[in-house]
Structure 1
Amino acid sequence: MFKKNHKLNQWLWKWHFIAGLISLPIVILLAITGGIYLFKDSYEAPRQAHIKTVKVEGEPISYQEQWQLAKPNLHKPPFTMVIPTEANQATAFTSGMFSHKKSVFINPYKGEITGNINPKDTDMHKVRKLHGELLLGKFGTKIVELVASWLFVLIITGIYVFWPAKKEGIKGFFKIRFKQGKRILFRDLHTVFGFWISILLLMTLAGGMPWTDVFGDSFKWVQKVTNTGFPKTWNARSLKSHAEGKPISLDDMVTLAKSMDLKGEVSLGLPKDKIGVYSIYNTTFDLGAQKRFHFDQYSGEQLVHHNWEDVGILMRGRMWFMAFHQGQFGLWNWVLMICVAVLLTFISVAALVSYLKRKPDGKWGTPKVPAKFKVGYGVMALIVLLGVVFPLFGFSVLAIIVVELLKKKRLRSE
């Protein structure tokens, strides 16, 4: 146990309080929508089964013929085909990426389209948009990023403010006072549970930040200048086929892909034009097992082969935390993220209840800081560091400083 600086504790408590009060509604919204989105697969599976599942009857038509059926219904590259693993599985052909993604499903036995799936038209896509941008587009994304940036500060200041006094010992980390009134009870519920999930919250935030605008773009820039992102040929953008002879059939490429025995869902990237290439890659949450192969569409020559080890360290870390954020490392990760969502909602509501119980009538009840207190260089350095790492947080701190200076100037002139 260490001895806390009482004045610093009061100063950090003040800013923990202010930041928490401002961001509380959005934090609760993010926790609830994030928890709901974790049920995406189980929610969508029965609603899409009639499109993705077919009746096995007779012999299937070739993949090349299926591709010709799907092509008129797809809008723009990149084009991919998910290699079926079950006989009753419709063949999925996909175009575009992210919100522009569209999938067409083919019944290989009847040679007809079973349906289309556009992620942006689904209920869960709306939940994701609410979670990531408050349904306000780029402006909403920046609000979420600002709140997420302040959440790092809330967690750090919360840990310091909560840290028990030396005389309390280890018991202080578990102490919940049930018999001293609702204000104390809800305060303890907020602080104790908040402390014990703080590391998980930081990991969850780290997984969400790459999707943001300002931090996300800055992170991508760092990856680029340090060469720690994906290899340039990871997505085959700079690779070309030599247009000589007859292209290899899609069926031959499917046979090759199946022979590789890759882990997880295996996809086949289709040439977007006469000099495009074939790509075989797998999607699995055992990130270390991910592989990518790119082939000349005429000769079948392997142009590039990438393992997960070829990916830069920043990108590997980014992808790990993003997968962790979405609960994609198996049942344990999914359950853990559900618990984080529930507990974050709980400690946020507990904080609000505790505040309302202690709030004086007609006042905000902002914690007081000793007039002579001056922030130390260590704290200032930490604030500057956080402001550089999270630019929107940095700009908001500058705005607060300007407002505080103007307020003091006004008080002196009165």
Structure 2
Amino acid sequence: MSLPTREAAALTLPPLYRTIWRWHFYAGLLVIPFMIMLAVTGGIYLLKDEINNAFYGSYLQVAAQPQEMLLPSVIVENALASHPGKPSTYVPPSSADSAAIVTVKSEAGKERVYVNPYDGTVLGTLGDAGFAGTPFMKLVRKIHSLEYFGWVANRVIEIVAGWAIILVITGIYLWLPRGRDVGTFKIRQGTRRRPFWRDLHAVTGIYTGLVILFLAVTGLPWSGFWGDKVNTYANQAGLGYPTGYWDDIPVSTVPMQDAMSQINWTMEQAPMPESTPTGAPAFSIDQAVATFDKLGIQPGYVVDLPQSPEGVFSASVYPDEIALERIIHLDQYSGKVLFDAGFKDLGPVGQAIEWGVSVHMGQQFGRVNQLVMLAACLAIILMSVSAIVMWWQRRPKGSLGAPRTIPSYRLAKGVIAIVAALGLLFPLTGASILVALAFDFLFLKGLKTQQA
């Protein structure tokens, strides 16, 4: 029985093209649902500040007053009077019209208490959301990283990123002109529906492919396997956090990510310094905040309060401009600066990843950065939808509709080499590639043999 005209035409394509087309199809099949989810949640999170201010403005903002703000200790006392517990963090107002924030730990969990810094009025309470700011944005962030779905799902981030890289590389190859009416930078006019969707998919991809590739690579630090391993190796090689800072100070075995309410990727595994009890009274929060301000840390910082006799006062800030990020630890008894480091103190790997993360989140270059990343998220959704439409229109009934395999994969050594390299660089992606190869070679070949 002869093949349908469309499939027969496809078999006339060069073997290398057919192989790459097949891998592009499989990559899309595997990651399109995740790509749509990541694009939607990523696009929402890019608007974090705007959404938080719109829906939680009554908690976050106050009317600026001519008088001085209350002392931090008074603000904390007012927060505890309204919501009893133990204070764990204090966020000084970042501007004249910003509320102060006190995180209170109790048997019910952690809550953020928002206080008017001029008169001490409690404005409201929300569940602690850390860097995300509000519970809604925390939920969006957890879904975006797949952390919301558990340990295994969080590791899928690396697999999705690896296959997204394969999608971009193979997609660019398929777009290249090779004596046919393809490789155009515009959507052609025509009467058939499929060429329109194909052009929409290809043109959107060619204009945004490099940005999507950048998003895939810079999203990997959040992966539970690849990100953790790269962090460990970079720090062991002295290319991550500044190890020399701990030569002359006492440190605990607790990493910063377990002791602080917010921490950047590079410093997650760095050890927390320890205070040295001297018998003298501990510093007050007023003294600690005054010291941080005197050291010139960027407004908007968070103060983690000592939770034990060996604990320290820690200030951390991660503004849009990556060069201004900073972490300071103070001995809670003497007020001595135990650690004070920022972006300039990180190793080359740490700086590269922190810069990439900042751009990924639409922060480093202000509004332009935010809009470019938002456009990339919309492009991912558009390409995913157009890919689904194309597949639905071309698939034979009762079939997956994958591009037909070539007689011998020996003709596609270059493709296999590229895919193998990605697998070695991203091990979990490599494992998924082996599964895809096994499916392609064993299941589909066996099915073909049975039908012969």
* Counterpart-to-counterpart distance in 1, 2:362 and 2:58: 26
* Counterpart-to-counterpart distance in 2, 1:387 and 1:143: 14
1:30 aligns with 2:38: yes
Q: Does structure 1 conserve the Cα–Cα contact (< 8 Å) formed by 2:226 and 2:426?
A: yes
Structure-1 residue corresponding to 2:146 = 133
Letter in 2 for 1:43: I
Letter in 2 for 1:107: N
Letter in 2 for 1:195: I
Q: Structure 1 stretch 180-189 or stretch 256-265: which is displaced more?
A: 256-265
Structure-2 residue corresponding to 1:172 = 183
* Counterpart-to-counterpart distance in 1, 2:85 and 2:240: 29
Using the TM superposition, give the Cα deviation of residue 201 of structure 1 relative to its aligned residue in structure 2, in angstroms.
Answer: 0.2
Using the TM superposition, give the Cα deviation of residue 101 of structure 1 relative to its aligned residue in structure 2, in angstroms.
Answer: 6.5
Using the TM superposition, give the Cα deviation of residue 80 of structure 1 relative to its aligned residue in structure 2, in angstroms.
Answer: 3.1
Structure-1 residue corresponding to 2:287 = 252
Q: Is the partner of 1:117 in helix, strand or coil?
A: strand
Deviations 1:275-333 (A, max 9, x none): 32233443222112223333322223223322322212222222222222221221011
Using the TM superposition, give the Cα deviation of residue 13 of structure 1 relative to its aligned residue in structure 2, in angstroms.
Answer: 0.5
* Counterpart-to-counterpart distance in 2, 1:401 and 1:89: 56
Using the TM superposition, give the Cα deviation of residue 130 of structure 1 relative to its aligned residue in structure 2, in angstroms.
Answer: 3.1
* Counterpart-to-counterpart distance in 2, 1:413 and 1:361: 20
1:103 paired residue among 105, 112, 133: 112
Return 5+ residue gaps in structure 2 as ranges. 1-12, 247-266
* Counterpart-to-counterpart distance in 2, 1:380 and 1:85: 53
* Counterpart-to-counterpart distance in 2, 1:76 and 1:393: 44
Using the TM superposition, give the Cα deviation of residue 412 of structure 1 relative to its aligned residue in structure 2, in angstroms.
Answer: 5.5
Structure-1 residue corresponding to 2:24 = 16
Q: Is the partner of 1:335 in helix, strand or coil?
A: helix
Change (3 A) 1:172 1:36: same
| 1:184-223 matched pairs, under 5 angstroms | 184-223=195-234
Q: Is the partner of 1:365 in helix, strand or coil?
A: coil
Q: Does structure 1 conserve the Cα–Cα contact (< 8 Å) formed by 2:72 and 2:92?
A: no
Q: Does structure 2 conserve the Cα–Cα contact (< 8 Å) formed by 1:104 and 1:113?
A: yes
* Counterpart-to-counterpart distance in 2, 1:70 and 1:87: 19
Using the TM superposition, give the Cα deviation of residue 153 of structure 1 relative to its aligned residue in structure 2, in angstroms.
Answer: 0.8
TM norm structure 1: 0.85
1:117 aligns with 2:131: no
| 1:237-276 matched pairs, under 5 angstroms | 237-276=272-311
Change (3 A) 1:58 1:192: closer
Deviations 1:46-65 (A, max 9, x none): 33222234465977543223
Letter in 1 for 2:336: E
Change (3 A) 1:391 1:175: same
Letter in 2 for 1:23: V
Using the TM superposition, give the Cα deviation of residue 179 of structure 1 relative to its aligned residue in structure 2, in angstroms.
Answer: 1.6
Change (3 A) 1:382 1:364: same
Q: Does structure 2 conserve the Cα–Cα contact (< 8 Å) formed by 1:38 and 1:338?
A: yes
| 1:18-167 matched pairs, under 5 angstroms | 18-54=26-62, 56=65, 61-70=70-79, 73=83, 79-94=88-103, 102-119=111-128, 122-133=135-146, 135-165=148-178
Deviations 1:104-134 (A, max 9, x none): 2233444453332225573333333333328
Structure-2 residue corresponding to 1:406 = 442
Q: Does structure 1 conserve the Cα–Cα contact (< 8 Å) formed by 2:19 and 2:412?
A: no
Change (3 A) 1:280 1:412: closer
Change (3 A) 1:282 1:128: closer
Q: Is the partner of 1:319 in helix, strand or coil?
A: helix
Using the TM superposition, give the Cα deviation of residue 14 of structure 1 relative to its aligned residue in structure 2, in angstroms.
Answer: 0.8
Give the CA RMSD over aligned residues: 3.2
Letter in 1 for 2:401: G
1:360 aligns with 2:396: yes
Q: Does structure 2 conserve the Cα–Cα contact (< 8 Å) formed by 1:70 and 1:106?
A: yes
Change (3 A) 1:298 1:123: closer
Give aligned pairs, total: 404
* Counterpart-to-counterpart distance in 2, 1:296 and 1:405: 62
Structure-2 residue corresponding to 1:228 = 239
Q: Does structure 1 conserve the Cα–Cα contact (< 8 Å) formed by 2:242 and 2:345?
A: yes
Runs of 4+ in 1 over 6 A off after TM superposition: 74-77
* Counterpart-to-counterpart distance in 1, 2:409 and 2:446: 19
* Counterpart-to-counterpart distance in 2, 1:80 and 1:102: 10
Q: Structure 1 stretch 332-341 or stretch 206-215: which is displaced more?
A: 206-215
Q: Is the partner of 1:172 in helix, strand or coil?
A: coil
Letter in 2 for 1:141: N
TM norm structure 2: 0.78
Q: Does structure 1 conserve the Cα–Cα contact (< 8 Å) formed by 2:273 and 2:338?
A: no
Change (3 A) 1:315 1:110: same
* Counterpart-to-counterpart distance in 1, 2:80 and 2:312: 17
Letter in 2 for 1:152: I
Letter in 2 for 1:146: I
* Counterpart-to-counterpart distance in 1, 2:110 and 2:15: 54
Structure-2 residue corresponding to 1:340 = 376
Return 5+ residue gaps in structure 1 as ranges. none
Letter in 2 for 1:50: S
* Counterpart-to-counterpart distance in 2, 1:313 and 1:399: 35
1:282 paired residue among 317, 320, 325: 317
Q: Does structure 2 conserve the Cα–Cα contact (< 8 Å) formed by 1:74 and 1:94?
A: no
Letter in 2 for 1:401: L
Structure-2 residue corresponding to 1:302 = 337
